[in-house]
A and B are shown apart, each in its own frame.
Chain A
Amino acid sequence: MIPPEEAEAWICAKCGAPLKILKVEFSYMKGNFTVDLPACAGCGMVLVTEDLALGKMAEVERILEDK
């Protein structure tokens, strides 16, 4: 979980606004999920950090793909 102050250190390249921790919905295979991630409140761009991508997102992908 990224702390709010760390999220705000990132600036959306399109909107110029700091990112905030927002509830982000995503779908993968037959599942719909909501997760708190740094995102731009203006355009909806979501930041997926390397730690997240290689950590729990990788575990989620492995589970959902039934590997």
Chain B
Amino acid sequence: MAEPPRLYESALVRQATGNTIRPGGLTLLQRAMELCAMASGARVLDVGCGTGASTTYLRHRYQLRAAGVDLSAKLLLEGSVTVPGLPLIRGRAEYLPCRNACLDGLVCECVLSLLPDSHATLCEFNRVLKPGARLIVSDLYRRAPDENGQAEVSVPCCVASARSHSFIRKQVLSAGFELQLWEDHSYLLGNLAARLILDHGSLQAFWVKVFGETAGQEIAHAVAASRPGYFLMIAQKRI
């Protein structure tokens, strides 16, 4: 049986988001880096790096020793062709190929909402970070009030499965981090949604093009019910 399409590998998503494959491009990473002021040479892992757009940015703009890890062989191959020699590794966010407490920072953009066990993943992030090191997360979150009413969808889709601010906050604290910053940047998601509507006629039409008639309709309803927003979070591993 064929695997369901992955939203982040979809040509239609790439058309609207470019190489970063997320709302806002590098906007929130730039904002986070201004706030964190990491020293050049700091060792940072970009988890869910895709084509390595953020990894490249961190290396060139801030002279960090940044590497990327992603599950998608397709996106990693594209990244290694675009920037030969970029350190990109195939792997899962839940099992990072790193020693304990070896990283000065970890960046995770638009990934947590897609994972089946985000708490286990946050614990893995905690394991590989040095005490006091920063975790930078940007992602979707659910703004509709009733999390229990979350619609079940038959294909994996980060927009439909996003969790609430309070749910994410609890998981981050429970995984051994102090929360330093939570900012709402939902306008970036709104801008992307608007672009998709202009390109495809409606959001519903976009979902149907990506996932087919049945799953596309299902996701369109789940997304509308969850009222997704977009956030930037900075957390610090407890010392």
Binds B, one of A5-13, A30-38, A39-47: A30-38
CB of A29 within 8 A of CB of B187, answer yes
In whole angstroms, how far apart are the Cα atoms of A66 and B191 in the complex? 10
Is B73 part of the binding interface, using a Cβ–Cβ cutoff of 8 Å? no
CB contact list, B175-213 vs A, under 8 A: 186-187, 190-191, 193-195, 197-198, 201-203
CB of B190 within 8 A of CB of A31, answer yes
In whole angstroms, how far apart are the Cα atoms of A30 and B193 in the complex? 13
Give the chain B neighbours of A33 by CB distance below 8 A: 191, 194-195, 198
Taking the closest CB of chain B, its distance from the CB of A44, in whole angstroms, is 19
Give the chain B neighbours of A64 by CB distance below 8 A: 187, 190-191, 194
In whole angstroms, how far apart are the Cα atoms of A56 and B191 in the complex? 14
CB of A56 within 8 A of CB of B198, answer yes
Give the chain A neighbours of B203 by CB distance below 8 A: 59, 63
Is A60 part of the binding interface, using a Cβ–Cβ cutoff of 8 Å? yes
In whole angstroms, how far apart are the Cα atoms of A1 and B194 in the complex? 16
Give the chain B neighbours of A59 by CB distance below 8 A: 197, 202-203
Known contacts A31-B191, A59-B203, A66 near B198 by CB under 8 Å: no
Give the chain A neighbours of B187 by CB distance below 8 A: 29-31, 64, 66
Give the chain B neighbours of A28 by CB distance below 8 A: 194
Tally of contact residues, B, Cβ under 8 A:
12
Known contacts A30-B187, A31-B187, A66-B186, A60 near B201 by CB under 8 Å: no
In whole angstroms, how far apart are the Cα atoms of A59 and B204 in the complex? 11
Main secondary structure on chain B at its contact with chain A?
helix
In whole angstroms, how far apart are the Cα atoms of A37 and B60 in the complex? 39
Taking the closest CB of chain B, its distance from the CB of A47, in whole angstroms, is 16
Taking the closest CB of chain B, its distance from the CB of A50, in whole angstroms, is 16
CB of A55 within 8 A of CB of B190, answer no
Give the chain A neighbours of B202 by CB distance below 8 A: 55-56, 59
Cβ-closest chain B residue relative to A28: B194
Taking the closest CB of chain B, its distance from the CB of A48, in whole angstroms, is 12
Cβ-closest chain A residue relative to B200: A56
Give the chain A neighbours of B198 by CB distance below 8 A: 33, 35, 56, 60
Most chain B CB atoms below 10 A, which of A28, A30, A31: A31
CB of A31 within 8 A of CB of B194, answer yes
Taking the closest CB of chain B, its distance from the CB of A60, in whole angstroms, is 4
Taking the closest CB of chain B, its distance from the CB of A64, in whole angstroms, is 5
In whole angstroms, how far apart are the Cα atoms of A29 and B203 in the complex? 19
Give the chain A neighbours of B191 by CB distance below 8 A: 30-31, 33, 64
CB contact list, A48-63 vs B, under 8 A: 55-56, 59-60, 63
Chain A: residues with CB nearer than 8 A to chain B? 1, 28-31, 33, 35, 55-56, 59-60, 63-64, 66
Which 3 A/B pairs are nearest by Cβ-Cβ distance? A31-B191, A60-B194, A63-B193
